[in-house]
Amino acid sequence: MNDPLTPRGAIRAITQARLNFGPPRFAADTAASLDFALDHARAREAVESELDVARLTAGLDALGLPHDIVTSSAATRDVFITRPDLGRLLPQDQADVLSRHASPDVAVVLGDGLSAVAIALNGVAFVTELHKKLSQDGLNIGPVILARQARVALGDGIALALAAKTVVMIVGERPGLSAADGLGVYITQNPSAQTPDSARNCISNVRAEGLPIHDAARQTYDLIKEMRALGCSGVALNQSRATNVLTSD
């Protein structure tokens, strides 16, 4: 055993796996066992958390951004968890309310998804950055829609009610054991009631220790510009890009 030892810090930089350092123990020790339980408790708390509407609206008010609130057809957290179909559906009465707003260029939705904690931590900051970039181009986002019990496709119904051509749906991602603050950003051009997932572009793991908010907002902005120029999103956008490259050669 003359080979050099790898320091634990170097090992932890290579993998976050919960390796068993030192002599093998044939049961997890008390500290490791309770650490794991705490991580799971945090993840469960994030999944069960509700959108903190008061705090989010206060944050948006402070920035002078108008807002409105909807709830999907999943009335409660429990229904939302087991019935993703209902979380994708905007009730008609709520669509009617939204349709009274002036039509924006880009609809922006903050939905709880599987972690309202992530929206509470990073949602307003992301919208602020995105709004800045879009307004420099003269694109208006209308009221920021706060959506409770929201799956990604709820954004389609919201965009249809607002008559927006582009929708940015920001949802809390499913919490892992180590982080519950990741946002997923889904951007769709010309959303419809039957938008397939393949027609969306997605930016994931948006959080301080993943893809920073500033970079994610920049990527979202670039995608919106491209989608609005080419009139499509998702797989079609990728194909359209390829075609444009070919023709420009």
Partner 1 sequence: MKYFADIGGQRFKWPSLKQLLAHATPERTGDQLAGLCASGPVERLAAQRCLADVPLKAFLDDVLQVEDDDVTALIMEQQDASAFSPIASLTVGAFRDWMLTPTTTGTDLTAIAWGVTPEMAAAVSKIMRAQDLIAVAAKIEVVTKFRSTIGLRGHLSTRNQPNHPADDSRGIALSAVDGLLMGTGDAVIGVNPATDTVPDYIRICEVLELIRTQLDIPTQHCLLGHVSTAIKAMEQNAPVDLVFQSVAGSTKANAGFGVTLPMLDEAYDAAYNLGRAPAGSNLMYFETGQGAALSADAHHDMDQQTMEVRAYAVARQYKPLLVNTVVGFIGPEYLANGKQIIRAALEDHFCGKLLGLPMGVDVCYTNHSYADQEDMDVLLTVLSAAGVSFVITVPGSDDIMLNYQTLSHHDANYIRTTLQRPPAPEFAAWMDRMGIGTPDVRIPSIENALGQLRLPN
Residues that bind partner 1 (CB under 8 A): 1, 3-8, 11, 14-21, 23-28, 32, 36-37, 39-40, 43-44, 47, 81-85, 114, 174-178
Residue 197 has which token pair?
A: 């997932």
Q: What are phi and psi of 70, to 5 degrees?
A: -130, 160
- SS3 at position 178: coil
Least distance from C-beta 119 to partner 1, angstroms?
15
Least distance from C-beta 13 to partner 1, angstroms?
10
Query: Cβ distance 99 to 86 under 8 Å?
Result: no
Least distance from C-beta 1 to partner 1, angstroms?
6
Q: Which CB atom, from 79 or from 125, has the smaller least distance to partner 1?
A: 79
Least distance from C-beta 127 to partner 1, angstroms?
24
Q: Which CB atom, from 33 or from 99, has the smaller least distance to partner 1?
A: 33
Query: Phi/psi class of residue 177: alpha, beta or left (left: φ > 0; alpha: ψ in -120 to 50)?
Result: alpha
Residue 239 has which token pair?
A: 């194909």
Q: Which CB atom, from 85 or from 96, has the smaller least distance to partner 1?
A: 85
Q: Which CB atom, from 39 or from 105, has the smaller least distance to partner 1?
A: 39
Name, in order, each residue with C-beta under 8 angstroms of 14's C-beta and a sequence gap of 6 or more. none
Least distance from C-beta 86 to partner 1, angstroms?
10
Query: Cβ distance 47 to 182 under 8 Å?
Result: no
Strand order in the sheet with 67-71: 67-71, 144-148, 106-111, 166-172, 183-189, 200-206
Least distance from C-beta 28 to partner 1, angstroms?
5
- Burial profile 61-84: b = 16 or more Cβ within 10 angstroms, e = fewer: eeeebebbbbbbbbeeeeebeebe
Q: Which residue is associated with the tokens 């920035």?
A: 63
Q: On the CB side of 101, how many CA atoms lie within 13 Å of its CA?
A: 26
Q: Which CB atom, from 38 or from 63, has the smaller least distance to partner 1?
A: 38
Least distance from C-beta 150 to partner 1, angstroms?
14
Q: Which CB atom, from 8 or from 132, has the smaller least distance to partner 1?
A: 8
Q: Which CB atom, from 19 or from 58, has the smaller least distance to partner 1?
A: 19
Q: Which residue is associated with the tokens 């080979």?
A: 3
